[in-house]
Structure 1
């Protein structure tokens, strides 16, 4: 339970903030100062954000450009109860304390990441640079009815700009610290009265944020070298039908060595009780680890992604037919140098070589009602298939009495999901509406592969040992939602909902005794018990109530949500020794409880001043969990779940002769939170922190160009955003500075 002090202190602060922000507003009545209304598709149909009964946040393309947010990892700094972290193995999404750490081909997320409504399964494919974005919608809470499985935490949907029936273009160039070079461009052309084309490109480069204290001269990670391009076409098939086609190609190069030892940030790790170490930012960002057992090598990272999508909208009178299809390909290879803590006081160097490919196809057919009747309905069918092949190779484990090459050839790994869903909203009165929705999902996953103990880079049957990895799971689940919403005033509504969600179960490395595949048997001596090989689906039930209001002549807004989750079989992942070999394992963590409050909004205090505010209170903890089967973590907080976060922002426009100067500052104060490595019984406490950003822009009246200067993380403080089972920590970004020139026509 949130204690009285935790409730009272932020509440008083929120009241003080609200009073300060509201004071100058009474003297204003100009309708030009109204907050703009944003149309969103959180409910799969277009509705005003202020009239959508979902806890959500929206960032539009203009805001993203002003804040310098050019990939998903930057979003969470501006949103309540959201962490989006660029981990070594891809994007890590945590919403309201709910997260996932299995980024392998057999893992599933707790929050769905989508691009233009298309589910992107692999976190390694979610780290792309943003490209000509219209808006980003982040939905907090389970979205199992309309979005399906793996949305227990919520949904992040990046929505691109579509071609328009007018000629327009834009270009930007930015230069900054760490040798940052950022460029982007867009051109929209109405080719005919039935065809519009839109092209967009983006390039982002910067040097490493890390310092090499190893004496090798090698480049380290946390650099960036991304290139992306998209071509879109919108075709008017008929007066009532349109087809939107998109093709996107992106490459990501650079370095995968973006870690430092956890001992950079903590002392006492060997004793099992990490304590935060006070040091300079330069010390935190220096990798000085010199392994005694191997020579370090230059790391690298090459990733290529291709995506083709189609979206059909056909108005059929009382209903609109929507068809959404996508085909995605991803190829990835890298080399990384690991800090591998094998014993509490012993760390060795390990090299990982990886090659992998992933293909996914998805199709959704949906019918939604139109018109102004009392009943609004939508329903549809969904199909998803993913196939991946991977080759993991580890070198340097001889110090642990392992062979020179520890190799995992895996594939195909195949995941399938089929679903049918529907949702109805009925107006009981002009001011009161009720909603009911349900989704039935049938899914399955299978994988064949092996764990190879090799003397050389190529498997030799005469000298090497091969242990089978072979498992499959099938399952089905129904999720549902009940909700109600009521208009309290023309610009205010309240809502409540009861919803369920689930994340599918899966399997770990190993095989059942007596099974066989790839010509390999699974004898009892190397078999894994079913209780360790398989883990169960993660499920939750959510109660939520909220209020959305616009007041003071629609120049101020307030969004309030309170929620309570009951989690069962929460899935946690880490490395464990099973059948004599280290394996990446996912286990069910018993039960968890999540409850909290979210408050955010904006105020336009006249034509020159804009304010934003946000406050979250969160109590997310384990109800029952024994990570080693003995020690209880009941009552311990979930990861990345600070008990309180306060956000304040202010932007002021200074009028100059023939121009405007815009200055803005945003500060975020987060309470302390944990990052846990459950299989090591380690809990790292990340201290409370304040992070501030500053922007200064110049825009001539009626001009096609503008200048913007930015400083991110003015305090220049860093902390680990992930820590894995080996003791490898990925630091957050230090202070960065850049200046950007924009031109539009």
Structure 2
């Protein structure tokens, strides 16, 4: 095996371990506790005293579940799912990748990152991941209506040391990571961390093309300097890249309309024909380029001055540049690729923290900007049609001909977007204070004013399908000289939005170890621009707003060995931004964002961590949620709307065109919103006579069914599932080296990550199947 030498070399790491009996003795005398310190509200506080729905995921938990990229964080905490433009929390997230900024703000070391592509990059050497559920409108501002995910990298250590691990698993999955602490002086330290993962891919092998391959890498240098006893500066610079391949797209089922009347332009009832999971989407075998090519460059700075015992100032600054020069999606019918596409973002924030006597205050000013200064996006937007409508495609040069009741595919249009400054700018002022009314009762109030500008500086060219390639692409001219449409928005005026968000709450110490709280808070997600070449109704969308009513308990019991967090909430949305597909007379099916009238999410989360003994750790959660549209009339009905190509070619053959259909989705369930979900984790350490220990652990997750589209169509129903991860770890006596055997997704479930139902068929991509392997590591 080509990696045998690497694995044998890793075994040589174990003799490097040195005795650490004093460390083990000290650890045995330390108190057993479940207490964690979080910075969710931009000030340090114990999680048992935080009047907010926040969960923390450690690097150890990430390792147990083989999580090496942020997009795999789903299910680690209550109500966290993945949408197509980022995370979804409590059912709020997008079901396509064209819907602007995510409703869950993702922060890396306190710096907002706007790109969902960044979630697929390597995530390594993590201090903690904090997930805040519910709107964070006062402290974090816009685009945080559903919550915030804070990913915090590890700080430099104060002593010379480090750690390394090497993992080998199924599909020839090789993962190596290393971190080294270099204390230059008593006041200045460095930490260097690196990560690499490659595998053969678990997706389909079609000819010489393999899907679902991993090829991740990253390196980070972090410096922390205590300039004076009261002034500390932390700076990190990182580089990451993703050169894997896109997911396999499978055909879950296809539609057949046995009573359709092509002459009258009617559908009739639909017959759904399921397929085997290993049936790839028609045309996928013709894909020759499925390679990702993403590079990210980031610099993040945190300067903190403890001016007095009660007053501190923090200046956060960050810059990131993400360069995309590869394929982002390839289904066999539709593909999306980028050519030298760059996204730059920078932000600065000044926070003031004050705490004296009964007053605790955080206030600040924030400015942020992102833009796409250059680059292109090429969409090959093909069309599919169900039988008998697909018979029209068979007469006009289909890509994949329809036979029997199966679907047919055809080239539709190629859409070229050329960017020259598209992006957004945001400014904000905020403040949030807590005042102790008594020794046990506190009141919190916060407000944030936000001003946003959004621009759409791009050109959009629509060409006949299957004609544009990376070699002949142009911003203004189609191959052959014939353009279906051209739009130039480079001089288009920016759209401006503003909003004042607020929060009010009370928290009360029922006992020294039990905190009760209740809050009312609001959130705001900015509006956006879409191409002026779209139908008039889809050229701009309005901001969405939410009001969140929340109450909870935080309990620290049994001498800190038991933590319980209980949260009940109701979120009322106005103008909820919803992604859908509409049929444009020229471009064909296009993904757009519209505003649903109202939505409501109600639920209860119960989290717990319990350390009954020093050798036992039990944790888990149980979540119940009802998320539905209260009012959503006039929604686009994708299952009963024929595509543009059919409406062009059908009348040529004497058939009637089929107008776009609409429906009322009021009362339908939101996407990405399981009604029930739960996680249970247990680990027990067996102390060996030799001084080492063996620790088996299990992580079990379960969730009920969800829906992939707002119409709740049966075609897009995603069945509930369970997922079990098993680990068996041996730590040698000094505690410096370990070996870990693991098996993830023991059930070998086909867990859908993306499901897309349209009028002809439903396609899906899936998370990895059962994986297993061994991880060797050491620390010194």
CA distance in 1, matches of 2:270, 2:234: 55
Q: Is 1:197 aligned to 2:215, yes or no?
A: no
1:210–1:285 Cα contact (<8 Å) kept: no
Match of 1:499 among 475, 499, 521: 521
Deviates more, 1:132-141 or 1:463-472: 463-472
2:351–2:365 Cα contact (<8 Å) kept: yes
Q: Given the two structures, how large is their TM-score scaled by the length of structure 1?
A: 0.86
Give per-residue Cα distances to partners, 1:182-216, cap 9 Å, x unaligned. 0001111110233111111011112211123x5x2
Q: What are the within-5 Å matches in structure 2 for residues 542-691 of structure 1?
A: 542-582=548-588, 583-626=590-633, 627-628=635-636, 630-658=662-690, 659-676=692-709, 684-691=716-723
Q: Secondary structure of the residue that 1:254 maps to in structure 2?
A: coil
Q: For the aligned residues, what is the CA RMSD?
A: 2.5
1:392–1:409 Cα contact (<8 Å) kept: yes
Please report how far the alpha carbon of residue 103 of structure 1 lies from its aligned counterpart in structure 2 after TM superposition: 3.3
Q: What are the within-5 Å matches in structure 2 for residues 209-608 of structure 1?
A: 209-212=202-205, 214=206, 216-220=207-211, 222-256=212-246, 258-261=247-250, 263-264=251-252, 266=253, 268=255, 277=274, 284-285=277-278, 287=280, 289-290=282-283, 295-317=286-308, 318-335=310-327, 338-339=330-331, 349-355=333-339, 356-371=341-356, 373-388=357-372, 389-395=374-380, 397=382, 405-454=414-463, 457-459=472-474, 460=477, 463-465=481-483, 466-470=485-489, 471=492, 472-511=494-533, 528-529=535-536, 531-582=537-588, 583-608=590-615
Q: What are the within-5 Å matches in structure 2 for residues 20-99 of structure 1?
A: 34-84=32-82, 92-99=86-93
Q: Given the two structures, how large is their TM-score scaled by the length of structure 2?
A: 0.82
Please report how far the alpha carbon of residue 572 of structure 1 lies from its aligned counterpart in structure 2 after TM superposition: 1.4
Deviates more, 1:236-245 or 1:223-232: 236-245
In the alignment, structure 2 segments of 5+ residues that lack a partner are: 1-27, 258-266, 383-396, 399-408, 637-660
Q: Is 1:122 aligned to 2:115, yes or no?
A: yes
1:72–1:84 Cα contact (<8 Å) kept: no
CA distance in 2, matches of 1:503, 1:435: 23
CA distance in 1, matches of 2:675, 2:334: 37
2:739–2:777 Cα contact (<8 Å) kept: yes
CA distance in 1, matches of 2:757, 2:279: 20
1:114–1:120 Cα contact (<8 Å) kept: yes
Match of 1:162 among 130, 155, 167: 155
**Aligned length in residues:** 673
- Residue 343 of structure 1 corresponds to none
CA distance in 1, matches of 2:578, 2:73: 24
CA distance in 2, matches of 1:378, 1:395: 49
CA distance in 2, matches of 1:669, 1:394: 37
Deviates more, 1:155-164 or 1:573-582: 573-582
- Residue 5 of structure 1 corresponds to none
1:248–1:308 Cα contact (<8 Å) kept: yes
Please report how far the alpha carbon of residue 303 of structure 1 lies from its aligned counterpart in structure 2 after TM superposition: 0.8
Deviates more, 1:76-85 or 1:118-127: 76-85
Q: Secondary structure of the residue that 1:125 maps to in structure 2?
A: helix
- Residue 744 of structure 2 corresponds to 712
Q: Secondary structure of the residue that 2:669 maps to in structure 1?
A: coil
Give per-residue Cα distances to partners, 1:239-292, cap 9 Å, x unaligned. 210111111011110212x1323x33x454878979795x8xxx525526337x
Please report how far the alpha carbon of residue 132 of structure 1 lies from its aligned counterpart in structure 2 after TM superposition: 1.2
Distance 1:116 1:396, change over 3 A: closer
Distance 1:661 1:638, change over 3 A: same
Give per-residue Cα distances to partners, 1:517-556, cap 9 Å, x unaligned. xxxxxxxxxx742x32111111110000000102223222
CA distance in 2, matches of 1:269, 1:83: 32
- Residue 12 of structure 2 corresponds to none
Q: What are the within-5 Å matches in structure 2 for residues 173-184 of structure 1?
A: 173-184=166-177
Give per-residue Cα distances to partners, 1:279-318, cap 9 Å, x unaligned. 8xxx525526337xx9431321111100011110011113
1:599–1:616 Cα contact (<8 Å) kept: yes
Please report how far the alpha carbon of residue 336 of structure 1 lies from its aligned counterpart in structure 2 after TM superposition: 6.1
Please report how far the alpha carbon of residue 70 of structure 1 lies from its aligned counterpart in structure 2 after TM superposition: 1.8
Please report how far the alpha carbon of residue 60 of structure 1 lies from its aligned counterpart in structure 2 after TM superposition: 1.7
1:142–1:151 Cα contact (<8 Å) kept: yes
CA distance in 1, matches of 2:531, 2:779: 53
